[in-house]
Amino acid sequence: MRLHDLKPRPGAKTRRKRVGRGPGSGRGKTSTRGHKGQNSRTGSSTRATFEGGQMPYIRRLPKRGFNNFVHRIDYLAVNLEALETHFDEGATVDVAAITAKGLANGKGNVKVKILGTGELKKKLFVTAHKFSAKAKAAIEAAGGSCTALIAASQPDAETPAEQPAAEE
């Protein structure tokens, strides 16, 4: 077989349907659009969910529940097994070191949560935004320490809801 012998499979290439080219073409006059109506007009197109002007299905259903999309904080998960393989004994592991090793890649301000999957035998000093209970116990059992960073958008747990009144 040579390059000049290559051809597309039979039926793979079909000619474009040329509508509105006279009665002899079989697709003249209304050009396969039927007679009158919204969809026969030029430039007319409706979205896929259009229901002919009746109230759309999605607007007929009641709104329920709560959506936390705007206010939620997304954490990038890093497991203990990743810390075990990428860091040496006695290393200081912080968010900058984790992102430098490529363990947590994200856009903008990256928040990291350490999870407890895997086994940790090295003594590491880990600083991250959050820790799971299992991860914290494993790091401390190996002789290391956990330091949780408080996110700026999160309220501090110890801060009371009301501020004390100013003294007069």
Q: What CA–CA distance (Å, rounded) separates 168 from 165?
A: 9
Element (H, E) at 135: helix 133-141
Confidence of residue 34 (pLDDT cuts 50, 70, 90): very high
Domain ranges of the chain: 76-148
Nearest to 91 by CA among 154, 136, 141, 139: 139
For 111-129, how does the pLDDT look when each residue is reduced to its tens digit (9 = 90+)? 999 999 999 999 999 999 9
Predicted pLDDT of residue 150: 74
Torsions phi, psi for 57 (to 5 deg): -55, -45
pTM, two decimal places: 0.55
How large is the average pLDDT for residues 38-61?
92
Enclosing H/E stretch for 138: helix 133-141
Eight-class DSSP state of 153: T
Residues 120-153 as b/e (b if ≥16 CB within 10 A, e otherwise) read bebebbbbbbbbbeebbebbeebebebeeeeeee
Q: How far is CA 56 from CA 39, 53, 60, 76, 126, in A?
A: 19, 8, 6, 38, 53
Rg of the chain over Cα atoms, rounded to whole angstroms, equals: 32
Supply the pLDDT for residue 20: 93
Query: Hey, which CATH number is domain 76-148, 3.40.50.1820, 3.100.10.10, 3.40.190.180, 3.40.1280.10?
Result: 3.100.10.10
Residue 139 — φ and ψ, nearest 5°?
A: -65, -45
Q: Which amino acid is at 34?
A: G
